[in-house]
Amino acid sequence: MRITAGIVGLSLLAAGLALPASAKPWSKSYLVEIYEYAHIYGRTDSAKDQPGTDCPKGTNPDVDWNKALLIGKRTPADVKKLLDPERRSAGGFDRSFYYLRGPNGENVYTNPTVIKDTGQKDVEGKVALGFDLDGNPKTGDFTSPEGVKGIDNAFYKSSGCWPRFRGPERQVASYSNDGMHDGVYTIVLVVSGEKDPMNDDAARLGVYLSKDKMVKDANGAIAADYSFRIDPKDEFQTVTDVKIVNGVIETKAPITLKMRDFYTPGFFPKELVLDKAQMRFEMKKDGSLAGIFGGYRDWMVHYIGTAGNGGWSAGAIHETVGHINLPIWWRALKRHADGMPDPKTGENKGISTVYRIWAVPAFVTTPDGKAPVTQAKRFEPEKVAEGGAAKTGRSR
């Protein structure tokens, strides 16, 4: 079903509500096209392992496996055999030796402190995307591109000099975005109000999961103006009050933001939960939407997802292919955690994290696909019928 997305007008006469002549209910809907960490890449090319304005001293080095694996009674010849490329390409390759590298063979992903902290290079650039989450311009490490001081983006500071988290914008999370484009998940946004779409101090913004896959155009790009049914899962749904000034949408107050994380592999948590979150998006002249959102996220969620979430061989892949030293990074996340203090210990459990999105115009419908969504509002999760299948009114 192809319907051009536009401003949807509604009459409130039936509800007995009187509006000024200049006010008119409206809504706009979008499909998230690109979703990634909001890290500023300090280069103009794609050389992720080279110095830039973000990391002037260069990036953090890979694990020196010839040294790291020389534990116990292993000899250099034993290590050479473990690292043999032909052996690694064989089917059923056991990667456990990568993470069972503590002095006594401990799992260093679950026991990172058994490895000596050699330190890491943090982001040294002074400019970052994000928000002053704690309302204190003296506590943030960065200044925004617009000159706002006290920007909190500690995840960027602690992670931005690992090649895994560097790259030109729209390419920082290419693998996960490719998965999103191929149907792993779909995110849609609805913005609505009763005044002027470009200036409305009482608008609403809804963030939802969708049941439908994206559509690609002839060039492989994500196509605009297609319809998508909302999937009303509570853990991926956020609706909040926003204000709009000259086409810029901003949350009115900090919120708990719940939505789908951009990662696609199974060992990453699907849920993204941000405490004291803020959002800022701009409606572009071409009809698209772009912007950032951020808040405090449990730093252990960041770590465990990357370390493998129990399937530790995945962490070994991230260390060897993703160019990161997990035990060293664990210490950096813990060191830079700046929010969500534990009420008993006072230790910060959260780390300020910022994401960015680009979105194209779309047409968003109710979960059954029978009506357009003309107001950003919460949808109740669907009841599951006997046999485990959710009741739905339409299939694609």
Tokens of 163: 């090649």
Q: What is the pLDDT of residues 353-369, one digit of tens each?
A: 999 999 999 999 999 99
Torsion of CA 262, 267, 270, 274, to 10 degrees: -80
pLDDT tier at 395, thresholds 50, 70, 90: very low
* Poorest-pLDDT segment among 42-56, 234-248, 379-393: 379-393
pLDDT score of 90 more than 80: no
Task: Kindly report each contact of residues 16-21 with a partner whose C-beta sits within 8 Å and lies 24 or more positions away, as own/partner.
Answer: 19/194
Amino acid 22: pLDDT: 57
DSSP output for 50-99: S--SS-TT-PPPPP-HHHHT--TT--HHHHHHHT-HHHHTSTT---HHHH
Mean pLDDT, rounded, for 230-239: 97
Per DSSP, the residues of 102-118 read STTS--TTT-GGGS---
Of 196-205, 242-251, 382-391, the poorest mean pLDDT is in: 382-391
Q: Report the run of H or E that residue 190 belongs to, with start and end.
A: strand 187-193
pLDDT value of position 335: 97
Residue type, 349: K
Q: What is the SS3 assignment for 352?
A: strand
The yes-or-no verdict on residue 81 having pLDDT over 70 is: yes
- For range 89-118, the mean pLDDT: 90
What is the predicted pLDDT for the residue at 23?
74
Secondary structure E strands in 215-287: 227-231, 238-245, 248-251, 255-260, 271-283
Q: Which residue has the tokens 């000159």?
A: 147
Q: Which residue has the higher pLDDT, 312 or 152?
A: 152
For the chain, the average pLDDT equals: 90
Residue 71 CB coordination number (10 Å): 16
Residue 9 has pLDDT above 80, yes or no: no
> Is the pTM above the cut of 0.85?
yes
Closest listed residue to residue 246, CA positions, set 301, 297, 284, 204: 284
Q: 283: phi > 0 → left, psi -120 to 50 → alpha, else beta; which?
A: beta
Which two tokens mark 205? 């913004």
Segment holding 333, helix H or strand E = helix 326-336
